[in-house]
Amino acid sequence: MKVKNLNTQFFRGIIVTTEKNIMIYYTKAPVLIFGLLFPLFMFLSFYLGRGINLSVFFPGFLAMSMFFTASSVGPLITPWEKQAGTYERLLSFPVSINTIILGDVAAGMIFGIMINVVVLIIGQIFLQYPINILYLPFATVLAAFCYSSLGVLLASPSARAPSHIMMFSSLIRFPLIFVSGIFIPLENLHGIGRVLTFLSPITYLVDLLNFSFKGKSHMSPFVDFSALFAFSVLFLWLANRFHRRNLIKGL
Amino acid sequence: MERQGRLERNRMKKENSVVEAIELTKTFGNITAVNHVSFAVRKREFFGFLGPNGAGKTTTIRMLIGLLTPDSGVVLIDGIDIRKNPIKAKMKMGVIPEMGNIYVDLTAKQNIILSGRFYGFPKKLLEKKADELLAQFGLYERKNDLVKNFSRGMKQRVNIASAIIHDPEILFLDEPTSGLDVQSQRLIKTIVNQMNEKGTTIFLTTHNIEEANQLCTRIAIIHKGEIAVIDSPEKLRSTFDTTQSVEMSFDKTFDDKLVEENDLVNRVEKMGDRWKLYTNNPDRLVKHLTKYAEEHGLTIISLEICRPSLEDAFVKFTKP
Ligand SMILES: Nc1ncnc2c1ncn2[C@@H]1O[C@H](COP(=O)(O)OP(=O)(O)O)[C@@H](O)[C@H]1O
Ligand SMILES: [Mg+2]
């Protein structure tokens, strides 16, 4: 076989890796538990417990749900493949580590978008927001990309036991929920709490969704988009470094 | 005979190498797993990499396929530096890693097609090629079964089928038959041999001397991360002329001087009424012994020339 174009080969690798991930990992228990059940339980406990006005809370819930679903696929794939012995074969295909990382990111991203479009439609039936058609799709796609990249980054420790990685990744993901402006609106936060909020990538999606649904946001959407983009670049860069370094650990 | 033919072809071909390892070194902490290893595998060769467990076989093959970056040294695949141009180099190879596995959540056929998709074959062609391979590997009836339910041998067959879907120029196999049932072992050896005959260069690691002997046209013996010797199985055996011997027994006792003070004999071992005589020239020794028996009216009970085995070579080269 001749390589006509290395770029073609690069994109093909990403697509095939993504397809492989979709076929194999979407139905794995940890993905279903951490990606679907968790946000649902969080929603129920919060909503039922406090009896809060859903139309105020929905953008935050949607952001949380996106965060959990999109970031739940990534942490599973690499540890699972290392344990199953498929990772070494995958690396022997004409792919680079970046191909694999982006294929994993794409799988998490598509998972997040699919689930949350459903959540959005259900929410919209009941709540009927005047949706901003221009911002919402961009916000959804960029956020899914960002959170999925975080998920892939969380897969990079060398442990080959998927359960360890899932635990570790939850340990990182949970605090990000609580400092995200989902539960307490940004306006009401001051001091250290407010500073912490800006460190959570979820904050910016909450803000963007508030803007898309209610036309009202704390920051300018441009700032939100930029922040999500910057987080994505940071996560991908770190994922590349760590995955490369831990490439053969646990093979 | 078949191997002789292949050897001949190799000799006649221009000595262009498809895999070239130049001074490869890899350390893990304070273990030097591979130490300044150099060799060249020629086109269409069946190259064996033989060594005991922990010798550095897997580490070497991982450097050759670009999975591990050597601390120093260069790997050229068909002239392409694998570090500088990994994708291009990887397009030319198929790999069966030692611990490598296929996806157990996919069917046999899905695994093979997935593999082929990475090389950019159109789906239609892949369907056809996958079916052919499945038939060749005796798995056609099971092609739509999940690999989860397969035996180890069957999994390894799918593994190899997946690795050759793109007709690679070079096939790397890291101990492909270890731990498999005899039937799968035989099938794998036959198929790899056929591929070699059709022109694929094979790089096979093994700790099994007999396997190397059966299959390979050239063997490198690696021990403690260093290459001890590289040669054809025949040459490796004959390097050990001193380990050639003649075993014999006569019906009656005879003058010990015949064997003890014989210029042709290097060393003597007595095993009951049988003698094992180590010699550089078994031919002349046998003629001498028959003549002696004739002259002294002795009956030969047994007389046999023992060639050195590849095992002798291996033991000699891998002695600590
Ligand atoms: N990833 C690794 N980390 C640490 N040591 C390793 C690693 N891989 C191999 N080794 C060591 O390198 C040596 C050679 O191993 P290996 O190449 O697997 O040998 P073989 O395949 O011939 O059995 C062994 O001593 C082994 O313990
Ligand atoms: Mg090994």
Note the pLDDT of residue B13. 43
pLDDT tens for each residue of B71-109: 999 999 999 999 999 999 999 999 999 987 999 999 999
Q: Is B70 in the pocket of ligand 1 (CB under 6 A)?
A: no
Note the pLDDT of residue B11. 47
What's the ipTM? 0.89
CA–CA separation, A12 vs B120, rounded Å?
7
| Ligand 1 atom closest to Cα of residue B53 | 23
Q: What are phi and psi of A34, to 5 degrees?
A: -80, -25
Q: Where are the beta strands (DSSP E) in chain B?
A: 17-28, 31-42, 46-50, 72-77, 80-81, 93-96, 170-174, 201-206, 218-223, 226-231, 245-250, 265-271, 274-279, 300-306
User: pLDDT band at A1, cuts 50/70/90?
Assistant: very low
pLDDT tens for each residue of A216-228: 888 899 999 999 9
Give the one of B97, B118, B159 whose C-beta lies nearest to A94's C-beta.
B118
* Nearest residue in A to B122, CA atom: A12
**Threshold 0.90, pTM exceeds:** no
> DSSP labels for B108-159?
HHHHHHHHHHTTT--HHHHHHHHHHHHHHTT-GGGTTSBGGGS-HHHHHHHH
* B119 shares contact with chain A (CB less than 8 Å): yes
Q: Domain residues of chain A, as ranges?
A: 2-250
Distance B52 CA to ligand 1 centre (A): 12
Question: Cβ contacts (< 8 Å) between B102 and chain A: which residues?
Answer: 86, 89
Take residue B14 and report the two structure tokens written for it.
Answer: 């221009």
Closest Cα to atom 6, ligand 1: which residue? Answer: B28
CB contact under 8 A, B120 and A251: no
CB contact under 8 A, B100 and A248: no
Give the one of B86, B117, B159 whose C-beta lies nearest to A16's C-beta.
B117
Residue B170 DSSP SS3: strand
Between B263 and A4, name the one with better pLDDT. B263
| Ligand 1 atom closest to Cα of residue B174 | 21
pLDDT tens for each residue of A64-90: 999 999 999 999 999 999 999 999 999
Let me know: does B18 contact B30? Beta carbons within 8 Å: no
